[in-house]
Structure 1
């Protein structure tokens, strides 16, 4: 069970776009379909390290990320393939994470209000149409400690592991016909964000790395991003990631201050309170077992 004294919770709510209620734009114009066909041909000789990379839904996202420029989209996808191999992502779920998961807990349990499973990082979750989610209690994540101890790279990779775990689960739901697309909603609770513990000079790379991976390796993955209880010092993070985030991601980003009535309207319209942690007005209790559903 997570410590009840949580100060900073990031809730990444991965929303699997439902069959009957699709948030993701899956329709293509005739011209876009022609671009997709050209793109499929252009990347046909690439040796993809993961099957999902060559799926049409993924190809469309890369095309949209590069304004339907086939060559630029191909270069972007090739860079993802190279990154995937350089970082040995295919084996990331088989690595020994014992020393990291204790100090930087991540959990997957619970279901959204549509009855679909959610993925959690000990106070991180995902719901909304059929939804997967992952949540983590950032107060328990001592980024400065990780930087001082030389473990920051490992912590960042640990986050990538959870990130990819959710991504793969969303793909499996799509394959099973439960959804016709996959996107994520994100809620980040910045209550009592610590300048010393979370915003040290070395710590800032954590945020830029995540923003870069979101935009360059999983383009189009997010639908809405809510930042609640945001203090003025969060502008430090925004100033770093704003140049990295795409226009569509920036348009989906909603930063809200400490007014609970204001952020509550946004959060509670998407999530039932029994699926939210106590610090967000919910009643959700979390499993202590990683990846338990």
Structure 2
């Protein structure tokens, strides 16, 4: 790290030493003993501009305090039938770890329907997974591998992506904005697999709109991406939809132990049990928990993401024929551009 970078971190650290409670407490929860590494993430997200990174981090801390994000892992989505419905329609899970110790998160973009619950439950679930990753998964990986690990890999399965995805763009933009504004630089690489024609068409218009830093993180792999992914992770850590061509991210493919989207997968069982345990401890301490879903302030998307969403909407509309029928989106038409 160069002298200029070290000076930027020093300036940023000096500014953060001046904050008071409750922002100081939530900052401690974020950095988890690694304040400088956290400052670097926000500096990277703002091209090493200290003033902009400082504003971004303060906005993040205020958002966390106002929405009680530090307590979101005390808040189970109940009843369990509702949580199961969320899991079946918001496909995300932990499939394993890379050879460098980075958690591998799998996301079924194409087959996630987001139609079994209200938006606030999907947002609550997503933030809970982020917080569990940061407070439990990453510290555990750091201890296991003997070095600080604060990022993950994501494998995005586009199987089943259709033009009807237009209806999900608003929710996906909200989730992406929450990630970018409050959990910056937590993903090292995004691997896109099983990409059908509709993705390829949208990617061509989105790619030029992305910042170079973001573009470098995205790799569109051929087919299921199995051969390329095996260069960075062992077979056991491959998401189930990458293990053989044509499997896709079906909600029911494979045994529960192998399908990381399933509520019966160890990751989701451990996550749900952790939340229930934390809630129980909190209540036994005489601190009642208000029932109902977490109501999180939804951020306005940054200008870049708003432009991307508009471009995707425009491209999806173009792909509809004049009679309202969808064009073919057979996965065999995918390309790797």
The structure whose residues are more often helix, as a share, is 2
Question: In 1, distance between residues paired with 2:269 and 2:146?
Answer: 20
Contact 2:207–2:215 (CA<8 Å) still a contact in 1? yes
- When Rg is computed on C-alpha atoms for both structures, the one with the higher figure is 2
What does residue 105 of structure 1 align with? 87
Residue matched to 1:51: 28
**1:255-290, Cα deviation, whole Å (9 max, x unpaired):** 235x34xx2222221222222344311686254453
Closer, same or farther in 2 for the Cα pair 1:168/1:240, shift >3 Å? farther
Asked if the contact 2:12–2:50 (Cα under 8 Å) also holds between the matched residues in 1, the reply is yes
Q: Which one has a larger percent strand, Structure 1 or Structure 2?
A: 1
1:204 and 2:186 equivalent? no
Question: Residue 74 of structure 1: which of 54, 75, 90 is its match?
Answer: 54
Q: Relative to structure 1, is the Cα distance of residues 50 and 71 closer, same or farther in structure 2, using a 3 angstrom cutoff?
A: closer
For 2:95, which of 117, 121, 125 is the aligned residue?
125
Matched, 1:182 2:150: yes
Name the residue aligned to 1:172: 139
Deviations 1:190-214 (A, max 9, x none): 1122433xx142x112321232223
- Contact 2:188-2:217 at 8 Å conserved across structures: yes
Q: Does 1:249 align with 2:211?
A: no
Q: Within the alignment, does 1:159 sit opposite 2:121 as a pair?
A: no
Contiguous gaps of at least 5 residues in structure 1? 1-27, 107-120
Give the counterpart of 2:45 among 58, 65, 79.
65
> What displacement does 1:236 show?
7.4
Residue 65 of structure 2 is matched in structure 1 by 85
Structure 1: distance between partners of 2:132 and 2:206? 23
Q: Report the 3-state secondary structure (helix = DSSP H, G, I; strand = E; otherwise coil) of the residue aligned with 2:48.
A: coil
Moved more, 217-226 or 231-240: 231-240
Please give the residue correspondences for 1:282-293 in structure 2 after superposition, counting only pairs within 5 Å: 285-286=258-259, 287-288=264-265, 290-292=268-270
Report the Cα distance in structure 2 between the residues aligned to 1:209 and 1:63, rounded to whole angstroms: 22
Compared with structure 1, are the counterparts of its residues 86 and 139 closer, same or farther at alpha carbon in structure 2 (3 Å cutoff)? same
Query: How much does 1:124 deviate?
Result: 4.2
* Structure-1 residue corresponding to 2:233: 271
Paired with 1:236 and 1:98, the residues of 2 have a C-alpha distance of 39
RCO comparison, higher one (Cα < 8 Å, 6+): 1
User: Are residues 276 and 125 of structure 1, via their aligned partners in 2, closer, same or farther at CA, if it must alter by over 3 Å?
Assistant: same
5+ long unaligned stretches in structure 2: 245-253, 272-337
Compute the displacement of 1:51 (Å): 1.2
Can you list the C-alpha shifts for 1:81-119, whole angstroms capped at 9, x where unaligned?
12212322112111131344211228xxxxxxxxxxxxx
Q: Write the deviation string for residues 8-46 of structure 1: whole angstroms up to 9, x where unpaired.
A: xxxxxxxxxxxxxxxxxxxx2122112211111112122
TM-score scaled by length of structure 1: 0.70
Aligned residue number for residue 275 of structure 2: none
- Aligned twin of 2:11: 38
Change (3 A) 1:123 1:34: closer
Paired residues, number: 242
Query: What TM-score, normalized by structure 2, do the two folds share?
Result: 0.62
Tell me the distance in 2 between the aligned counterparts of 1:241 and 1:125: 28
